[in-house]
């Protein structure tokens, strides 16, 4: 496990759960045109959290840990095959410095592309949203979509 990731505690889990509820509430209070202001949502995000989960596929399982500690964002994915044989661990870590994102660990691109990577995907896009908010380039609104009966903001 990455040393940047804070330990998972009941308090951090409760904080993440309350943030998720705030996001759902914000999405449910959207305008009639299906949009919601993004700045209040991003402002409500906690500075520290840790989330752990599992993704199951027919031939393998991923144990996923995602965390934020201040400006540091870490993602660790342990892949196990059927029978729990280890297939490898992917560790990625980025940090938000003022209004840009810098790779700390795990960038598989060229050094130039890793320096201020604006093409992050998945969990690490959280860092891009934080950087955009700090730079003043966050869009004013997001579009509310339904994801299996839950309002989410895109």
Share of the chain above pLDDT 70, in %: 80
Give the integer Cα–Cα distance in Å for 127 and 74: 10
Residue 67 three-state SS = strand
Residue 23 lies in a domain: yes
38 found inside a domain: no
Number of separate domains in the chain: 1
Is there a domain that residue 39 lies in?
A: no
Cα gap 42→128, rounded to integer Å: 11
pLDDT over 50 (residue 72): yes
pLDDT digits (tens, 9 = 90+) for 37-48: 999 999 999 999
**Residues 154, 152: Cα–Cα separation, whole Å:** 7
Tell me the pLDDT tens digit for each residue of 99-133. Answer: 889 899 999 888 888 887 888 888 899 999 999 99
Task: Write the pLDDT tens digit of every residue in 136-152.
Answer: 999 999 998 888 988 88
Domain containing residue 123: 10-29+47-137
Does a structural domain hold residue 111? yes
More confident residue, 26 or 49: 49
pTM above 0.85, yes or no: no
In this prediction, residue 33 carries a pLDDT of 81
Indicate whether 148 belongs to any domain: no
Nearest to 64 by CA among 54, 74, 73: 54
35, part of any domain: no
Question: For residues 46 and 16, what is the distance between their CA atoms, to the nearest angstrom?
Answer: 8
The reply to whether 96 falls in a domain is yes
70 inside domain = yes
């Amino acid at each position: 496990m990455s040393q940047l990731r804070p330990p998972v505690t009941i308090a951090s889990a409760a904080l993440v759960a309350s943030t998720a509820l705030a996001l759902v509430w914000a999405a449910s209070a959207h305008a009639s045109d299906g949009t919601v202001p993004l700045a209040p949502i991003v402002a409500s995000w906690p500075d520290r959290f840790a989330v752990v989960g599992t993704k199951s596929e027919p031939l393998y399982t991923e144990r996923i840990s995602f965390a934020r500690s201040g400006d540091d964002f870490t993602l660790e994915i342990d892949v196990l095959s059927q029978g729990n044989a280890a297939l490898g661990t992917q560790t990625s870590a980025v940090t938000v410095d003022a209004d840009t994102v810098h790779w700390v660990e795990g960038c598989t691109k060229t050094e130039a592309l890793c320096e201020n990577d604006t093409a992050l995907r998945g969990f690490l896009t959280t860092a891009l949203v934080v950087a955009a908010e700090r730079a003043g380039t966050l869009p004013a609104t997001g579009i509310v979509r339904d994801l299996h009966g839950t309002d989410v903001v895109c």
